[in-house]
Structure 1
Amino acid sequence: MDKEIIKAHKISDEEYDQILEILGREPNLLELGVISAMWSEHCSYKSSKKYLNGFPTKAPWVIQGPGENAGVIDIGQDMAAVFKVESHNHPSFIEPFAGAATGVGGILRDVFTMGARVVAGLNSLKFGNIYDEKYGNHQKYLVKGVVSGISHYGNCMGVPTIGGECSFDECFNGNILVNAFALGICKKEDIFYAKAEGVGNPVIYVGSKTGRDGLGGAVMASDSFNEQNKSLRPTVQIGDPFSEKLLMEACLELFKTDFIIGIQDMGAAGLTSSSFEMAGRSGSGMKLYLEKTPMSESGMTPYELMLSESQERMLICAKKGCENQVIEIFKKWDLDAVVIGEVTDTGNMELFWNNELVGMIPIEPLSEKAPILDRPISKPKYLDNIKDYQFELKSDIQDLFIQMMKNENVNDKAFIYDQFDSSVQTNTIKADGKLGASVIRVKENNAAIAMAIECNSRLNYIDPKVGASAAVASAGRKVACTGAKPLAISDCLNYGNPQNPEVMWQFAQGCEGIKEACKELNTPVVSGNVSLYNETEGVSIYPSPTIVNVGVLENSSRVLKASFDKAGVRIYLLGETSGNFGGSLVMKIQDKKVAGNLKNIDYKAELTLWNFLYRANQESLLECANSVGVGGIAITLAKMCAISKKGTILESGFSDKKMIFDESFSRAIIGVDEAYEEQFLQLIKEFNIKAYKLGISTDEDCFRLDEINLSKKELENLYFESFKEQIQ
């Protein structure tokens, strides 16, 4: 085969030799395209799989870990939560509205494919510098497009977007990150899996028609950006949320029957990945008659049909004899449903076009035995230049605090989350674009599910291992601050070019940090995604492992608020403040640097804090709880004050005044009513947690913390108005 064609499919010489060995001959163009998609980084995890081995994935409450469309945990009384986070970074940078919208559509399908009704969504968004002379206006365009795409798809689907995070840094000027999370609910007995077994069982295509949109998407997502490939709009899929809504309802109706063996979303690599994965997991073979595929465009070829990433499509393995019943359900919902193949026992994927065999590929080597690369790794040289940097206060503390409150990484993102419908389905208890975790009610068992999405890229830049473990700990702490028990995580590992040994070192360290934190905190990984090649013109993003923690509170009426809502609340800081300024926001704002060292996380202290919050909430001792994160206690307290619209008179007790901006781990701000203060202090002693009383909430018109003294109006203007002004 022509070497240029092989190169265009991102197949290396070694991989091509492996293809020749598998097939025993030269592949034709269709076969090369199929193999190229299945062996792309996006589908095969060939650079990352080595480091993903060893993730903690089991616990008594884990029903399904990694390997299916989404993870599943037990949430009590025979109910299950199904969830996953995934990236749509490259498409969103190329075409922000369509890329973000189809990212939401894809993650929703991953969840309802498992048999669950989707009840909540989150997102983690990372953009470049909106003030940059060269990139700023484009970054604002990307923000508006991405947010519009997310809100359009989620709102049309009737799925509440109940929280998320959004941050800005110049490292994302060339590659933004758009990570979407979805969570669904179902009975444990109603979970469906992606399998195709039983010789002669029909394979049914359902959903929207196939077009040429999204062609090469999986391969595109497995490459970095440069001048040659910046115009890639044809590889971005176009989504239709109204079709997906019909598809979801049809699938949920189908799941109440006994007609099917398995079901798989046609996501990245479309019909290729869905068919190979279903057959591969079952050890089966499959025949597909591609001319039967519903098409939205004329003249489509087998190559295009196998590789199209048109949206809102599923592949079903039905029980033989039940074809008509399955088809009738989808016709009722005005969707295409056509038998396009059957399960065999050959172990091969046989592709036919008008009765002619046009492709035959062994399934197992593609779906289960893709290449696993052992790429070179080396510790980044930049770390030697930043590790010894020490932060010292150089500015007036109130002036610095005001700069921080006006910063786009701190202030209120109402421009974003006000576009999301957070209350549809009427189960939302806490929709947080502001503070901490988000919470929904599960009507079936009266439990509450708390979920938090977290990633601090600056911490991962200066220490990829501790930074990744800090994301696990922080997401869990936010969930714990609602009174829920953190149970499991889903991860989306966003890194740069794996062909760069320094990036692979960052990735390896990040995986070790996640493994360590999940093991020590007993929050196994149940699902996830890897996104590599986040690089433009040789410049990679900061390592950005996004972590979503999901936890359960047995009684939804006990959910803790994140802020005090009355005067007289006693405000305490829990945990040790140890002088952690590495990668801190205050350093970035004052010194324009991302540097320093991180102290290791004390997992025992972290877990003790979680357990204390759960117990104290069960005993009704707390008015509110909020994790201390970016900007330290100064920013955490300021947000709580602005949102509550109450005043505060607070003293940190720190002899070194810069410590109010310290970002030490394993800390929380909690509020206690005077009537429960004594019991609270007794429980603190029992758990042996350090607690310092900062002061009280008041009806006075002030936010006072040490030398910082602003009126409530000044504070609220800084917090609520700044981002709106910046993004216009």
Structure 2
Amino acid sequence: MELLDPLPTVETARKLGVLPDEFDRIVTILGRQPNFTELSIFSVMWSEHCSYKNSIIWLKTLPRDSDRMLAKAGEENAGLVDIGDGLACSFKIESHNHPSALEPYQGAATGVGGINRDIFTMGARPIAQLNSLRFGDLSLPKTRRLLRGVTKGIGDYGNAFGIPTVGGEIYFDECYNTNPLVNAFSAGIVEIGKVAKATSYGVGNPVFIVGSATGKDGIHGATFASEDISAASTDKLPAVQVGDPFMEKLLLEATLEIIATGYVIGIQDMGAAGIICSTSEMSAKGEHGMVIDLDKVPTRQPNMAPFEILLSESQERMLVVIEKGKEGIIQGIFDKWDLHCAQIGEVTAAPADGMGRLHFYRYGQLVADVPAHDLVLGGGAPQYRRDYKEPAYIKEFAKFRINTVPDVTPADLGDVARHLLSHPNICSRRWVYEQYDSMVGTANRSTNAPSDAAVVRVKGAGIPKTDKSIVITVDCNSRYVNANPFTGAQIAVAEAARNIVCTGGEPLAVTNNLNFGNPYVPEVYWHFVEAVKGMGEACARFATPVTGGNVSFYNQSSDDGPVFPTPTIGMLGLMENPDNRMTLNFQNEGDTIYLIGSPQNDVASSEYLYSYRKVKASPAPAFDMEQELAVQTIVKQLITKKLIRSAHDISDGGLFVAVAESAMAGGRGFAINTDGEYRRDAYLFGESQSRVIVSVSAEQQAGFEQFMQKAHVSYSQIGSVTASDYVVDGQVVIASDTATSLYNNALGEIMA
């Protein structure tokens, strides 16, 4: 059979992001030179975004198993964890960084749409969303434009789709001036035994494309996400997808309905690389092939070329393989929801080796003939172990000594307090989250009861009644990771677990979004390797296996260099009993405030040191894994024994900010005392890890003290909850109404 299109050259391959040796490998696989359509197929499937070719070797070292894991990491559309009562939670985090840098509204919106499709394609109804965002210097008009666009994109899509956004994080640093990071997290619930798989098998079974029509948006989006941002990137605006949340809502309901019929063999979201990704991954997993007629794909533009149809990343689409003979049932469901449902091909047999082939036709002509297995991650896609070396600055950062900066005096405390409470990395994100619907679905238990992690009741149409809640959070302080990627990544995992524990949950599993610069730069790749090692060790210690996630390389520009290494941790926890719900707000005047965990003479990588003292070269904060595990164990026990009124972990801004946030959330003040064994700035503003602030009522105090005296964890009484004002060592540092106004309004005033 004759293949259409002129045969491309090595130079053509290079323009598509295919290296010369990879081009030679393609020729060997096919036994001939590829045509342009086939080369385009390999270029997207072998891009970093789809193949993880520069990361998979290290990702395989992460802990991936537990008794609760129901899907192998990376083998399904999302992670799947048993939460008991015959239910499972499907959850995942993914990036949409490059699209958001070019077109922030659609980039962020389609990131939300894509991650939710990963969840409901497994048969799980999404019940909650989080996001983790990074932007540049907020004094720059460009940064404010990006923040406005991303926030509106997330809000408009999520609100219209009808899934609550229940939390997240935002950080600002000039390293993100060109390359913002937009990481979207979604979680859903499904009954065990009703999970849909991303596979294809059964010779003659029909293959359908369902949902929206296919257009020219997002073509080569996966390739675009696998290269540095540059001045020329604006020429690739068509690589950014366009979303429609109302179409996605219809697709959600139709998808869950067809899965419920029991006639679905396999189903996969068309995200990165579109049709070619879904057909190849499902076929490779099921060890079958497919024959696809591209003429039957519903399109939005006339005369689309074969490669355009195959590579388009138009949103709100699925590939579905169903049992032969059930076509009418599936068609009827999609007709009811007024969605496209077109049979475009069928499953074909594979040779004895299980290496099924994909045959694509256009206008009756064979335009591509490729082996599914050789296209995909874990199959024939290349895997590289890049050279890496420690950047010179790491040793320089380690030389920092605290005595090189002056301690704060009592007279300085008010100035530091105002600086931190109004800093964009610490102040309230009210300007952002008020644009999100956090209450749709009425499952969010956190809106009027602030806590360190979001608590979402397990409920929804078709879900058996239960008292369980999932507890979810996203965490990463990239400044720590930049200072020491191994320790910084460990801290990211530890903080996520600490947030879940302080909320009354039990950490179960992790999804991660690994945001780094160009992997071909040895120093950048060293960041990646060290962060994966640190994350892996921490996940093993917390018994929170990695269920999957996303690697986003090439977050780098010629102007700003690479972004800080940002391995974002999305963690799932479980709350069996709603009575264990713990909030961070101080409640009654006169309650005693305790610090659990040991203070340190440490201000390394703190917001105080970085932005107030303007010292950017310092190591990661003090962190001890054994101390962390011990503190979390104690906090869990204090919550279940009902010995504390509130719990809040100490993180950005240190102890002072943690106590201030608990006071503001409860409409109270506080009076605390520092400890003369430590520098005042380290005690109040240092960010050494493994510390939690709790408040205890008079009725609980004797039991609390008795319990803590038997525990093998340091603790100290540091003060009490008051009616108003923030008092340190007998001095009013800042009035409570002033602090609340600064904290709540700072970001909004900047954006205004």
How far does the alpha carbon of each residue in 1:448-483 deviate from its partner, in whole angstroms, 9 at most, with x for none? 111111010110111011001100000110000011
State the 1:633 CA deviation: 0.2
Shift of 1:608: 2.2
Kept in 1: contact 2:131–2:168 (CA 8 A): yes
Give the secondary-structure state (helix, strand or coil) at the position aligned to 2:261: coil
Distance (Å, rounded) in 2 between the aligned partners of 1:466 and 1:384: 14
Match of residue 703 from structure 1: 726
> Which shows bigger deviation, 641-650 or 138-147?
641-650
CA distance in 1, matches of 2:98, 2:142: 15
Question: Which residue type is aligned with residue 723 of structure 1?
Answer: L
Give matches, 1:521-536, under 5 Å: 521-536=542-557
Q: Pairwise mapping of residues 387-398 of structure 1 onto structure 2 (< 5 A)?
A: 387-391=398-402, 392-393=405-406, 396-398=412-414
Q: Kindly indicate whether the alpha-carbon contact (under 8 Å) linking 2:602 and 2:622 is maintained by their aligned counterparts in 1.
A: no
Assess if the C-alpha contact under 8 Å between 2:451 and 2:582 holds in 1: no
CA drift of 1:299 comes to: 1.1
- Judge conservation of contact 1:458–1:594 (CA < 8 Å) in 2: no
Q: Report whether the alignment pairs 1:580 with 2:602.
A: yes
Aligned residue number for residue 268 of structure 2: 264
Aligned to 2:706: 682
| Aligned-partner residue type, residue 91 of structure 1 | P
Partner residue in 2 for 1:428:
444
Instruction: Within 5 Å, give how 1:152-171 maps onto structure 2.
Output: 152-171=156-175
Contact persistence 1:454–1:474 (CA under 8 A): yes
Distance 1:592 1:535, change over 3 A: same
Aligned counterpart for 2:237 among listed residues 230, 233, 236: 233
CA contact (8 A) 1:568 1:696 kept: yes
TM-score, scaled to structure 2: 0.94
Q: Given the alignment of the two structures, is residue 378 of structure 1 paired with residue 389 of structure 2, yes or no?
A: yes
Q: What is the CA-CA distance between 1:635 and the residue it aligns to?
A: 1.0
Unaligned segments of structure 1, at least 5 residues: none
How far apart are 1:432 and its partner, in Å?
A: 8.9
In the alignment, which of 223, 226, 244 is matched to residue 227 of structure 2? 223
CA deviation profile, 1:65-88 (whole Å, cap 9, x unmatched): 312111011111111111000000
The Cα of 1:182 is off from its aligned counterpart by 0.1
CA contact (8 A) 1:703 1:711 kept: yes
Provide the TM-score with structure 1 as the length reference.
Answer: 0.97
Instruction: Supply the AA of the counterpart residue of 2:712.
Output: N
Secondary structure (helix, strand or coil) at the match of 1:222 reads coil
Distance, in Å, in 2 between the alignment partners of 1:191 and 1:568 is 51
One of 487, 491, 494 as aligned partner of 1:470: 491
Q: CA deviation at 1:591?
A: 2.8
Tell me by how many angstroms 1:355 deviates. Answer: 2.5
What amino acid does structure 2 have at the position aligned with 1:389?
A: F
CA contact (8 A) 2:291 2:347 kept: yes
CA–CA distance in 1 between the matches of 2:100 and 2:360? 32
Correspondences of 1:3-42 after superposition (within 5 Å): 3-42=10-49
Residue 600 of structure 1, CA deviation: 6.2
Separation of aligned partners in 1, 2:366 and 2:504? 59
Taking a change above 3 Å as real, the CA distance of residues 193 and 600 of structure 1, as seen in their structure-2 partners, is farther
Once residues 478 and 382 of structure 1 are traced to their aligned partners in structure 2, the CA distance between those partners, rounded to angstroms, is 31
- Mapped to 1, the partners of 2:622 and 2:171 lie a distance apart of 24
Secondary structure, aligned partner of 2:260: coil
Q: Does 1:596 align with 2:604?
A: no
Equivalence for 2:628: 606
Choose 447-456 or 592-601, whichever is displaced more: 592-601
- Within 5 A, what are the aligned runs for 1:42-53? 42-53=49-60
C-alpha distance in structure 2 between counterparts of 1:183 and 1:96, whole Å: 23
Match of 1:308 among 309, 312, 323: 312
Match of 1:692 in 2: 716
Deviation at 1:579, TM superposition (A): 2.8
The residue identity in structure 2 corresponding to 1:122 is L
Q: 1:599 to 1:242 in 2, by over 3 A?
A: closer
Partner of 1:126: 134
Further displaced range: 97-106 or 616-625: 616-625
Matches within 5 A, 1:53-202: 53-67=60-74, 68-131=76-139, 136-202=140-206
Identity of aligned residues (%): 39
Q: Give me the whole-angstrom Cα distance separating, in 1, the residues matched to 2:420 and 2:328.
A: 62
The answer on 1:664 being equivalent to 2:688 is: yes
- CA RMSD, 1 decimal: 1.4
Following superposition of structure 1 onto structure 2, how do residues 257-406 of structure 1 map, counting pairs within 5 Å? 257-346=261-350, 347-367=356-376, 368-391=379-402, 392-393=405-406, 396-406=412-422
State the match for 1:211 in structure 2.
215
Q: Distance in 2 between matches of 1:431 and 1:629?
A: 21
SS in 2 for 1:526: strand
The DSSP-based 3-state class of the residue aligned with 1:57 is: coil
For residues 430-449 of structure 1, the aligned pairs below 5 Å read 430-431=446-447, 436-443=452-459, 444-449=465-470
Measured after TM superposition, the shift of residue 599 of structure 1 is: 5.8
> How far does residue 129 in structure 1 lie from its aligned partner after superposition?
0.4
**Is the CA contact (8 Å cut-off) linking 2:209 and 2:320 kept in structure 1?**
yes
In structure 1, the partner of 2:589 is 567
Which residue of structure 1 lines up, in the alignment, with residue 530 of structure 2? 509
Instruction: Give the Å deviation of 1:602.
Output: 2.4
Aligned mates of 1:580, 1:281 — CA distance in 2: 50
Check whether the contact 2:10–2:20 (CA below 8 A) recurs between aligned residues: no
Q: For structure 2, which runs of at least 5 residues remain unmatched after alignment?
A: 1-7, 351-355, 460-464
Work out whether residues 462 and 594 of structure 1, in 8 Å CA contact, stay in contact via their aligned partners in 2.
no
Give 1:394 shift.
Answer: 5.4
Measured after TM superposition, the shift of residue 580 of structure 1 is: 3.3
Q: What one-letter code is carried by the residue in structure 1 that aligns with 2:418? A: I
SS at match of 1:419: coil
Are the counterparts in 2 of residues 164 and 433 from structure 1 also a CA contact under 8 Å? no
Q: Which residue of structure 2 aligns with residue 548 of structure 1? A: 570
Deviations 1:230-280 (A, max 9, x none): 332111000000000000000111121111111000000000111111011
SS at match of 1:237: coil
Contact residue 580 and residue 598 of structure 1 kept, 8 A: no
| Aligned-partner Cα distance in 2 for 1:433–1:557 | 13
Distance (whole Å) between structure 2 residues aligned to residue 65 and residue 654 of structure 1: 51
Partner of 2:480: 459
> 2:480, 2:621 within 8 Å by CA — same for their partners in 1?
no
**CA separation in 2, counterparts of 1:57 and 1:686?**
35
Conserved 8 A contact 2:725-2:732: no
Q: Cα deviation per residue 1:200-243 (whole Å; 9 max; x = unaligned)?
A: 11111100000001111000000001222233211100000000
Matched residue type, 1:610 = Q
Provide closer, same or farther for how the CA distance between residues 226 and 234 of structure 1 changes in structure 2, counting only shifts above 3 A.
same
Counterpart of 1:373, as a letter, is: Y
SS in structure 1 at match of 2:70: strand
Aligned partner of 2:429 among 413, 416, 427: 413
2-structure distance, mates of 1:369, 1:676 = 62
* Contact 2:331/2:341, CA 8 A, preserved across alignment: yes
**Is this contact kept in 1: 2:48–2:553, CA < 8 A?**
yes
Task: Tell me, in whole angstroms, the C-alpha distance in 2 between the residues paired with 1:568 and 1:64.
Answer: 49
**SS in structure 1 of the partner of residue 525 of structure 2:** helix
Q: Secondary structure at the match of 2:670?
A: strand
1:608 and 1:687 in contact (8 A); partners too: no
SS in 1 for 2:651: coil
Q: Provide the secondary structure at the position in 2 that maps to 1:429.
A: coil
Change (3 A) 1:433 1:206: farther
Shift of 1:577: 1.6
